[in-house]
Structure 1
Amino acid sequence: MSGSSVDGQVVVVTGAARGVGALLARTLAARGARLVLVGLEPDELQNVTESLGGDAAFWTADVTDRATMARVAEEVVARFGRIDVVVANAGVATGGPFLDSDPDAFDRVIHVNLLGSIATARAFLPALVASRGYLLQIASLAAITPAPMMAAYCASKSGVEAFAHSLRAEVGYQGVAVGVGYLSWTDTDMVRGADEDEVLREMRAKLPWPANRTYPLEPAVERIAAGIVRRSPHVYGQWWLRGMQPVRGFLPSVIGGVLGRREMRRAQPALARGARAKRGLVGSGGAADEAARSSDHHTP
């Protein structure tokens, strides 16, 4: 597989109905890639697919469903003949104090972000071994540093980072490259949904620069696309995230110590006002995930 271009390569992107996944699909298609989109929202996926032109295609699937993902991988290979790149991007989020969290929403974040990424790798890795391809796991700043009110998301993204690093060590000798993509707060439905929560919004605003701002989507996705072309082991959606790696060992003490305690103490009045509010999955993607599971549950 060429390390300098994605022209003509078959690229699978999960969580491709919106946000990072949708724009990444468009960016890679513009570079000549043949796109396969996977997600839960058929109408949105169709819209993105039609915007790509060429022989792009989409499959509706829940990434946590191992059997379905295995079938999708087989059908993609049958249609396109090969798979060169897989981007495990599907993800959801919830926020709020752990003890007040909705257990189902909390667990769903772990299931989609971590177990869904594992199911994606399990389904598509044989094809990547055959093509000596590239797997990019989208992680987050949340994998580098912990954050109060985001226990589920931080745990899931730390998990996928560790999973990808372990997988890289296993499959490198077979010619498969594995990368981890890191994004800070980026202008997506998920982040806008999180900002609808007063406490999360105010706590994020008090983070030290440059972690306290929302970054535009397009430059972040361009950086991810460039990392895919290079088959990079680490891809940073914002330039400053690279500099977080050398100091990440100190961050749990800082966040869990004075800073975290101070901000949680300040947040108590607002948390008390919203104590009875349901804290489900955030953003349009979270709503789509809940709707899809509700529909499956009620299907006779």
Structure 2
Amino acid sequence: MTSRDDALRIMTERFPLVAERIQRLWGLRLPRHVAVFAALAASDGGALNEMGISPWGVTDYFRDGGLDQRGRDGLDQRLHARFRCDPAEFVTVMSGSSDGLHYGLWFDDPAELPTIIARNYARDSAETWASTAPTLLRVVREEVDRFLSDYGDDREEAERVTPLNDALDWYAAADEAALRQDRPPHLASAPRSYLAVSLMPLLPQGSGNPQVAASGSRLDAFQKDPARAAEWIAEARRQLAAGQPALARAVGSELHWLDLDVHRQAGLDLLLGAYHALGRDALAEIATVHAAHRDLRSVEVLITDGS
């Protein structure tokens, strides 16, 4: 296992190369705190695994030889660790302990750093919710604190996470420095709303009304009431054509999550139209690639030659 000093130095040196890869292929900006998490995994991976957590997704590029990986069978690398219901704004960076739990950087606007970290249980309800922690290390700390609140009275269980707590303490200063160096994106403190199945991305003023309070009833209509579903889709199209893409983004997201054959193309068209109207073309490209490959048997896409 790499020492903590060496791990932090190595991952800090790798960060510009990985960030360039993400910018070139995804069109997205990588925050520096991801490199600190990669260092934690390199030096204290065993302790991290005690919580069922490991690097995954774009953090795989930080591994030894990670930038030499390619997409298996010629697949687009943006498909790596992208589950069926993941929104385009969600880019996986870490796996969790059960039910397909994975954590992702959430990019409201591709021109900005990610505003939050989100989580999704892909093999459960596959809904996407925001974490309250601003860095991956702090998400791990939240998981440790949650574990201790449940099992901390058991000495043996509490001792299991002591090495990870020690490691988190050691890396805390580097994590804070990374956060300061990046500075928060201008959207970070904006109030956020939620659809029935996911957080709603932050949109510029004048983008229209996503009608989040009606999200649950829309989901019911899309599944049970074809006439009402058609009305919602038509209204989203009208607003999009009028230069207000918020409802198109909301309805498109709901249809993406439901993944019903009858509405699949309409949902994609609304999402792409909304992203292009917002100038968020990188998200439109991710959504397009994902839509073409949602039936992959495995989201493990990155491989090295010979594997």
Normalised by the length of structure 1, the TM-score is 0.28
Greater Rg over alpha carbons, structure: 2
TM-score by length of 2: 0.28
